[in-house]
Amino acid sequence: MSLRFKKIAVKIGSNVLTRADGTLDITRMSALVDQISQLHKKGVEIVMISSGAVASGRSILGINKKLDVVDQRQLYSAVGQAKLINLYYDLFREHGITVGQILTTKENFSSRRHYLNQRNCMRVMLDNKVIPVVNENDTVSVTELMFTDNDELSGLIASMMDMQALIILSNIDGIYNGNPADTASTVITKIEKGQDVSDFIQSTKSTFGRGGMLTKTTIARKIADEGIDVFIANGKKDNMLLNLLDKKAEVICTQFVASKDEVSSVKKWIAHSEGFAKGEIHVNENAAKALLGEKAVSLLPVGVTGIIGDFEKDDIVRIFDEAGKLLGVGKTQYDSEKAREISGKKNQKPLVHCDYLYLE
């Protein structure tokens, strides 16, 4: 078998791992573990992002209507994650493979230092042939700073670990060009950069997970633009992973084709940091034009019309044009006080250097 990729992130959704009654589908898990083990033995580096903690906890404890939503999530995930990782641990052990657990929160991506710590942890695991099994730490991650869903988390991980592909396994064959329930609809096999598929996206959420097609598509596009191929495929179908990686096999799924542009590691981090922005920089028309032009340029103080919020040097800031449209995010070279002082002035060092600027 000739493989298409050597480094992949595989996201397994709650709906793939659970049966209709909400219990963990151990047969399915075992089949996925078999496939991942085969790929691992062929030298493919794999990071798994697995949902299913909340669903599994709920099925163990039963629904307690007296608890509010946050309490339920904390309780179910604490119990369910233990069950989930134990199962993975035992199933992989059958193949002589060791897995390790990584529970993370959105805050762990907010500073460059945290980000690099996490990356280092996963790199050490991979270098030592341990498969990282990642999930959001749902027990503590209950604020507004929560990942939209594990699709978002898997995108961050694929980008952070410089993977060649992200495979999002769900219980649907991919993105359809119509209503999936309609027999005339077919799966869109390839989506190129700039291709708009929003008309085809169903807004319904999945039964057991938090995700939906809308976040999957948004994340997939962003990650593909960073040079990583993204696949949305049906994880309930036998041998899906092996077939997807086999150059010769034909698989029905949706691929977001990776852009050829190189994106640096820092830029990748900044691209996913918008949620942590500490302030805003507003720029005039000339500066906006220069930023959006063909050439990579830095944001100079001369084009700045306003600074909003208090921030430190190296914080992430959002950049807006005159009409209030978000142009991008960047890492600032000055704190907000200094930035205000030099706004509109000529011959100053860049406020955001082009190496630390990510435009939408």
The residue within the footprint of ligand GLU, chosen from 25, 45, 149, 229 (CB under 6 A), is 149
Size of site (CB under 6 A) for ligand GLU: 15
Beta strand residue intervals within 70-145, DSSP E: 98-104, 130-136
* Residue 328 in the binding site for ligand GLU (CB under 6 A): no
The residue within the footprint of ligand GLU, chosen from 53, 160, 244, 277 (CB under 6 A), is 53
Q: Are 215 and 151 in contact (CB under 8 A)?
A: yes
User: Stretches 135-143, 221-229, 247-255, 296-304: which one binds ligand GLU (CB under 6 A)?
Assistant: 135-143
Sign of CA dihedral 320, 337, 290, 112: negative
* Residue 333 in the binding site for ligand GLU (CB under 6 A): no
> CA 310, CA 340: separation in Å to the nearest integer?
10
Q: Are 173 and 243 in contact (CB under 8 A)?
A: no
- Exposed/middle/buried for residue 62 (C-beta within 10 Å: 0-12, 13-18, 19+): exposed
The residue within the footprint of ligand GLU, chosen from 155, 209, 303, 328 (CB under 6 A), is 209
* Residue 165 in the binding site for ligand GLU (CB under 6 A): no
The residue within the footprint of ligand GLU, chosen from 51, 217, 273, 332 (CB under 6 A), is 51
When the beta carbons of 51 and 255 are compared against ligand GLU, the nearer one is: 51
* Residue 154 in the binding site for ligand GLU (CB under 6 A): no
Residue 184 burial (CB count, 10 A): 8
**Which residue's structure tokens are 């529970």?**
103
* Residue 52 in the binding site for ligand GLU (CB under 6 A): yes
- Classify strands 357-359 and 326-331 as parallel, antiparallel or unpaired: antiparallel
- The CA-CA-CA angle for residues 252, 255, 258, to 5°, reads 155
**Nearest distance, CB of residue 47 and ligand GLU, angstroms:** 15
When the beta carbons of 150 and 343 are compared against ligand GLU, the nearer one is: 150
**Nearest distance, CB of residue 160 and ligand GLU, angstroms:** 18
Pattern 76-115, binding to ligand GLU, x per CB under 6 A?
A: -x--------------------------------------
Phi/psi region, residue 123 (left: phi>0; alpha: psi -120 to 50; beta: rest), is alpha
User: Using CB under 6 A, which residues numbered 11 to 50 contact ligand GLU?
Assistant: 14
**Nearest distance, CB of residue 237 and ligand GLU, angstroms:** 20
- The CA-CA-CA angle for residues 300, 303, 304, to 5°, reads 90
> CA 180, CA 112: separation in Å to the nearest integer?
41
When the beta carbons of 141 and 336 are compared against ligand GLU, the nearer one is: 141
* Residue 229 in the binding site for ligand GLU (CB under 6 A): no
* Residue 330 in the binding site for ligand GLU (CB under 6 A): no
Encoding tokens for residue 72?
A: 């339920």
Q: Are 259 and 227 in contact (CB under 8 A)?
A: yes
User: Which residue number places its CB atom closest to ligand GLU?
Assistant: 209
The residue within the footprint of ligand GLU, chosen from 25, 45, 138, 315 (CB under 6 A), is 138
> CA 138, CA 235: separation in Å to the nearest integer?
23
**Nearest distance, CB of residue 157 and ligand GLU, angstroms:** 13
In a 13 Å sphere around the CA of 54, the CA atoms on its Cβ side amount to 24
Q: Which residues bind ligand GLU (CB under 6 A)?
A: 14, 51-55, 77, 135-136, 138, 149-150, 209-211
